[in-house]
Structure 1
Amino acid sequence: MTRVVSIYLPYLATDRIRRADSGIPADQPIAVIERRGPKRWVSAADAAAQKAGVRIGMQAAKAQALFAGLAMIDADAAADAEALRRITLWALTVYSPIVAVDAPDGIVLDTEGADHLQGGEAPMLTRLGNQFHARGLTARIAVADTWGAAHACARAARTQTVVVPRGEAAGATERLPISLLRLPEPIVSDLRMLGFRTIGELSATPRAPLALRFGPEIGRRIDQMFGRLSEPIEPIRAPEWIEVSRAFAEPIGAAETINKYVGRLIVQLVAELQRKGLGVRRTDLIVEKVDGSRQAIRAGTAKPARDIAWLTKLFRDRTEKIEPGFGIEKLTLAAVITELLAEEQHASSLVEEKNEDITPLIDIFGNRGQRVYRVAPVASDVPERSVRRISAAAAEVEETWVHYWPRPVRLLDRPDRIDAIALLPDHPPATITWRGKRHRVRRADGPERAFGEWWTCDAEFTAVRDYFIIENDAGERLWIFRSGDGIDPETGSHKWFLHGIFA
């Protein structure tokens, strides 16, 4: 059973203005002003403005009088909608093949096909929130069984993330206000006049009187929220994407039939790619079923590709995950990420060509949800900053390390605190205690001094580390350092840390 993630962007308008590099200082509150004839009111305000007392719906003159340093920007609904569309397209290329706009202030995605985000729903949502924050966007994220439940919980959340357990949509939403049921505003106003406040109160009311007065919309939204009525997510598409599809007069369901038509779609897709001189990096297969539900499969390649046999293999390895249900009525293949790909001339068939390309192996691991990358050197004296991750198929990096001291084969993600007995300022420890175990130092080499990078962080202007290579009684060789020069407290805390292990 798939799960639905709703991403609510409460400050979309103000975040868009800040991301546009409008020259507004980062600490200056922003209010967005809507105009209608002579009337001007606040249609959006960022967190700083709301903390100062600015409220949505407040008259602009009152907001300006309330806070003199408030930046007041005219509303641009078209720009907000375009920004939301771009964010949704970005989310589709990064997270899941099924992502849609949840207007006017959010997006919704189906976790089907988002294998790389798995590892637990709570870590998945935290990772999503951090990635949105890194792009200058405030997000509140919820995951639930249905679009309606996730939508409501994301907008009612007081924390960044909310995980609604499977089968608990009714319990999680019954106390939420009826405004979160995605009903038209006139219906919500009339329901409030009748005394309804929460979704639970409304769902417990007999349907017939409500349908007689308001039509079927209330019942439809309640059934969608509680999973009694399906609500397919129509994935967003960019007009420039290359896309081919096949609709069936009679639904299909057999595995060999699915593979046959997927193969034909790949031939059509590759023909279009070749005509435009492109190769595909990420391809989505959208399966539309008779019951209105959708399933998606995503295949990625480390380098641009348009090899029919290889793309067919990538999909055949994964089509076994397709659950046809009552039948499939349409298959769509979309090239989501493409790059320029020049024609290559292969060697003569009379000469045996040595192929050392491991890209196919990288593709296989990547499409199984495993992260494949290479480690490249970085010019830095701080050990944990001297490496970075790059794409597994990236070009060779010419930069290399320049060190006159040996380096450990294993570098810890973070230096591990140890207790040490040593003479200051330049002597290595006589003993260290690491994770409760005492090690007597038999041999040591050092110190090697590493200076802080003051050009990246002001706090490192005077910081230093003194590194030692030590060997214990068991012959284990460890890489340790003392924070500071052993004399001046401003250079470091003079505490000891273990940073690496030698072979």
Structure 2
Amino acid sequence: MFDGIRKRVVCMWFPRLPSDRVLRARPVSGPFAITHKSNNTERIYCLNSPAERAGLTRGMSFADARAFCPDLISQPARPDLDAHFLAILRRWATRYCPWVGWDGADGLVLDVTGSTHLWGGEEAMCDDMRARAARAGLSVGLGLADTRGAAWAFAHYGGAGKTLEHLPVAALRINTQVVTGLQRLGLRTIGDLSTAARAPLARRFGPEMMLRLDQAMGRVPEPVTPEKEPPRFVNRMSLPEPIGLTEDVMGITERLLVPLCDKLNRFEMGARKLSLTLRRVDQSSREVELRLAAPMRDPHRILPLFERGVGEVDAGFGIDQIRLKATQVEPLAVQQIGSVQASPDRLADLITRIGTRIGLDNVQRYLPADSHIPARAFRIVPAAYTRPDSSWSTCRPRPLRLFPPEPIAGRGHTPPDRFRWRRMTLTTGRAIGPERIAPEWWLEGDTWRTGLRDYWKVDTREGRRLWLFYTPQNPSWCVEGEFA
């Protein structure tokens, strides 16, 4: 019964996907371009229609483009955002058929076999695609054919009334070197190539070119592989009677959290951010967001962390629907279960509890940094997104406390015998040094760019153990740290 159905494929090509993505959020009436750095040169990566009418082309250096078009507005390329935007378009394209796959970095391919009658025919469906893309501010090229290769050719090179045989050989998705070689032989169209002897061409240009020709002509199948939908970790419960007590809300949350964690376990994922949406009977919603210091999928550890946020929610006249969703997940490997159970990560739970009060980014830790300058040998980072580093090491002892340099009186290249610091008169008992530290001249804004520092560890007779340095290029002494 289904053997007689004619296979039909649509190719959607978005030639200005990067620039259209940016201009949708912030329209520009004049020339606009997306730039990308290649071989230490800023070049045009994508541009809109006014920029093309001004004589700009892709691959042109940005300096030349500004010379041609002084009022050109530009932004740097973001391939990651372009890929995310194309993923959104792929989900949108499933309204026409369920089989939608990727076609490069700027296109989609749809297997619309058996679906066109739902839109009043093929022409009506393509008109609807163009109209919706135009309303969304997107440039689109459409190709409809019996094969994927032919649909791609019509989308990129097709015109009104053209057949596949009249299209250039570049429409076969082959590289430019092969296209140039075929044109030198006088084979400029797909029709010319299909009538030429196959064996000599295969020996000269390789089997890939003939494969592309056969795929476009329908001699070799080329299926459309749809993208698998990512799992969604969300549960929802509608209540027959409104509730308002914290205990009741926490009980429903537990019923939603247990199957959610089971699904996370099946996919070997852990939640880093959870959103609990409480819908009140007046149709307004209250949201409790929980950010975790480490990926988790243990409901017994996660549930108590919701209690503070749920207790602060105003239930109004009652809550009739609760929705729990893991809005951010990360891979979490399955743990080995034995006779001795591993203790939970109490530190991660503690960081999460403190983070719900003061903000997860405000719980910080120190990590070592690659710098020989003591004041730059560490960095402060959020503890929730990093792990402790045990690689703290130095060839020389460093003071426990560091502070901005505080000048003291002294002469010569060795520490003074007596000096005043912070209203105290101190006497040098033992001095170890010097340790010369050179400036990191390659860093911008470096206060050390003007010269060297000779550091001394000074033990005073009064019990203070200080870290002093002397600057040879500008003779002076300063105290910068104190040992324990």
With the length of structure 2 as denominator, give the TM-score of the two structures: 0.51
Q: Residue 440 of structure 2 is aligned with which of 453, 461, 477?
A: 453
Unmatched tracts of structure 2, length 5 or more: 1-24, 57-61, 89-228
* Correspondence for 2:257: 266
Amino acid at match of 2:407: D
1:16–1:80 CA contact under 8 A, matched in 2? no
1:24-43 superposed Cα distances (whole Å, 9 cap, x missing partner): 968x9x9997538998799x
Q: Note the 1:341-352 alignment, pairs <5 A.
A: 341-348=332-339
SS class of match (2:49):
strand
Provide closer, same or farther for how the CA distance between residues 458 and 471 of structure 1 changes in structure 2, counting only shifts above 3 A: same
2:246–2:311 CA contact under 8 A, matched in 1? yes
* Correspondence for 2:97: none
Provide closer, same or farther for how the CA distance between residues 10 and 377 of structure 1 changes in structure 2, counting only shifts above 3 A: same
Amino acid at match of 2:435: E
Amino acid at match of 1:453: E
1:72-108 superposed Cα distances (whole Å, 9 cap, x missing partner): 79999xx78967999xxxxxxxxxxxxxxxxxxxxxx
Deviation at 1:320, TM superposition (A): 0.7
Deviation at 1:423, TM superposition (A): 1.2
- Matches of 2:295 and 2:75, distance apart in 1: 43
Deviation at 1:304, TM superposition (A): 1.9
Provide closer, same or farther for how the CA distance between residues 319 and 84 of structure 1 changes in structure 2, counting only shifts above 3 A: farther
Matched, 1:399 2:402: no
* Matched-pair identity in %: 28
The number of equivalent residue pairs is: 310
1:469–1:478 CA contact under 8 A, matched in 2? yes
* Correspondence for 1:500: 481
- Matches of 2:482 and 2:347, distance apart in 1: 30
Deviation at 1:473, TM superposition (A): 6.6
* Correspondence for 2:469: 481
2:270–2:332 CA contact under 8 A, matched in 1? yes
Matched, 1:431 2:419: yes
- Matches of 2:329 and 2:443, distance apart in 1: 35
Unmatched tracts of structure 1, length 5 or more: 1-8, 43-48, 50-60, 87-237
1:7-39 superposed Cα distances (whole Å, 9 cap, x missing partner): xx9799999935x6578968x9x9997538998
Matched, 1:287 2:275: no
2:34–2:77 CA contact under 8 A, matched in 1? no
* Bigger radius of gyration among the two: 2
Deviation at 1:384, TM superposition (A): 1.6
Q: Note the 1:18-167 alignment, pairs <5 A.
A: 21=37, 34-35=48-49, 67=70, 70=72
Amino acid at match of 1:324: A
- Matches of 2:277 and 2:293, distance apart in 1: 21
Deviation at 1:395, TM superposition (A): 4.9
With the length of structure 1 as denominator, give the TM-score of the two structures: 0.49
Provide closer, same or farther for how the CA distance between residues 299 and 499 of structure 1 changes in structure 2, counting only shifts above 3 A: farther
- Matches of 1:15 and 1:431, distance apart in 2: 65
Deviation at 1:346, TM superposition (A): 3.1
1:356-378 superposed Cα distances (whole Å, 9 cap, x missing partner): 85333233223332533432333
* Correspondence for 2:188: none
1:123-143 superposed Cα distances (whole Å, 9 cap, x missing partner): xxxxxxxxxxxxxxxxxxxxx
Matched, 1:368 2:371: no
SS class of match (2:272):
strand
Alpha-carbon RMSD: 5.0
Amino acid at match of 1:35: S
* Correspondence for 2:410: 422
* Correspondence for 2:34: 17
Deviation at 1:386, TM superposition (A): 1.2
- Matches of 1:291 and 1:11, distance apart in 2: 38
1:33–1:75 CA contact under 8 A, matched in 2? no
- Matches of 1:314 and 1:34, distance apart in 2: 49
